[in-house]
Amino acid sequence: MALSKKEKILICSLLLLPIVIIFDVILRDLRFHYLDYYTRFILVILVFFTLRTIKVSLAPLMIGILVGAIGAGMLALYQKYHLNLHDIQGYVMQINFGNISILLGVMSLAGLFMVNSVGYKKSFYIITLLAFIMGITGSLLSGTRGGWIAIPFFIGLFIMFSPLSKAYKIIGSIILILALILVYYSNDYIQSRVDSVYKNTQAYYNSNSDESVTSTGRRLVEWKAGWLMFIEHPIFGIGSGEYKQALKEKIDAGEVRKIDLVGHAHNEALQIMVITGIIGLFAYLSLYAGAAYFFYTSLVKSHNTRVKYLSFLGVMIVGDFFIFGLTNYSFGHNMMVLFFAVMVAVLAGMVSRIENQSVEA
């Protein structure tokens, strides 16, 4: 069956950013490993076309999400209370573990779309809520504050699109907010992680000393340096892999405070702007916009429960990853690139398959 408008937009959005990076590497004679992560967006197009043409059960996907969320929470609890570790990271990068944990948790809750399609409704409710709680637990124990920024987005998305009645939506949102407040006031670690954002930001602006640069302050320095780099090279950027050296030059010139050198700006959009300029930023925003358009269109127009469930997951993943990228360079980590690219391709392929079946029928 011919590709629809939204399918063409999705494919173009997946291709554009990798193409920009390819030209950046070739024209600047850079090392090809800078292409590595971004080629995933091209490769998963094959996954999309495969799932678009074959019938696939939703059960493995739903079970995988639930098991993933529960597993993340259990691993976090194991590291916290059995191994007595301070940094809960699930044997991967701490930020990525926390972000994926909270995402799997809320993806589990999205299973409520399918509650009328399963045989054991009470058991499904219990497992879904358990997976949600465990996913949130993994995030909280990791102390990954960047993922917590997405919580208002989660709540808004569920209020707007979840299949629950209006009363249940309001009650559920109130319970979640009260639970988060309770966690904040009852857990010194969580409270210190949240409060430190304000305190560290205040310390950064109230002092010119390099010693005042905390984890929050380092990001402010990296963002300032990245913005200065972008202003100097606004069209094509400075090139992939050049941020660290450019940061050193900014520090040596006294334009920003002294911090440990890092390879990226801890902000995805800014990092893309720095290395590939306005052209790269357009491609980056197109990636998110194209994927969001595909899933949002299906979510609001379709009356098919399976399509709504898959599209809801798609909108959630796209929105969450964009938010994660505000404080981290997610696409600079293989685990995060694979999760985003594969999930977008899988969900979109399954949506297209179901919608095409409806048209043919």
- Looking at residue 12, its pLDDT comes to 98
Contacts of 165 (CB under 8 A, 6+ apart): none
Separation of CA 304 from chain center: 26
Is residue 355 exposed (0-12), middle (13-18) or buried (19+ Cβ within 10 Å)?
buried
Which pLDDT does position 243 carry in this prediction? 92
**pTM of the complete model beyond 0.85:** yes
Residues 20, 23, 29, 31, CA torsion sign: positive
Which residues, at least 6 apart from 33, have a Cβ–Cβ distance to it below 8 Å? Answer: none
Using DSSP's 3-state secondary structure scheme, residue 8 falls into helix
Summarize pLDDT for 61-114 with one digit per residue, the tens.
Answer: 999 999 999 999 999 999 999 999 988 999 999 999 999 999 999 999 999 899
Strand locations in the chain (E): none
Q: Can you tell me the distance from the alpha carbon of 58 to that of 309, in angstroms, rounded to the nearest whole number?
A: 10
Closest CA to 168 of 221, 121, 109: 109
Dist. CA 205–CA 207, nearest whole Å: 6
pLDDT band at 48 (very low <50, low <70, confident <90, very high): very high
Number of H helices, E strands in the chain: 14, 0
DSSP 118-154: SS-HHHHHHHHHHHHHHHHHHHHHHT-HHHHTTHHHH
pLDDT higher than 70, residue 178: yes
Contacts of 236 (CB under 8 A, 6+ apart): 24, 276, 277, 279
Give how far Cα 53 sits from Cα of 16, 134, 235, 270, 349, Å.
24, 35, 40, 38, 8
Integer CA distances (angstroms), 28 to 237, 241, 281, 325, 359, in order: 11, 11, 18, 26, 47
pLDDT at 198 over 60: yes
What CA–CA distance (Å, rounded) separates 269 from 355? 33
Q: Is pLDDT at 119 greater than 60 in this prediction? A: yes
Q: Which of 133-137, 198-202, 295-299 has the lowest mean pLDDT?
A: 198-202
- Judge contact between 128 and 66, C-beta under 8 A: yes
Query: Residue 210 — very low, low, confident or very high, per pLDDT cuts 50/70/90?
Result: low
- 8 A C-beta contact, residue 7 and residue 345: no
Q: Where in the chain are the domains? A: 5-192+267-360
User: To the nearest whole number, what is the mean pLDDT of the chain?
Assistant: 91
**Over 80: is that where the pLDDT of 26 sits?**
yes
Q: Say if CB 238 and CB 270 are below 8 A apart.
A: no
Are the C-beta atoms of 59 and 72 separated by less than 8 Å? no
Beta carbons of 222 and 262 less than 8 angstroms apart: yes
Task: Give the end-to-end CA distance of the chain in Å, rounded to a whole number.
Answer: 13
What pLDDT was estimated at residue 361?
52
Length of the chain: 361
Decide if pLDDT at 211 tops 60. no
**pLDDT of 196 higher than 90:** no
pLDDT, mean of residues 199-220: 76
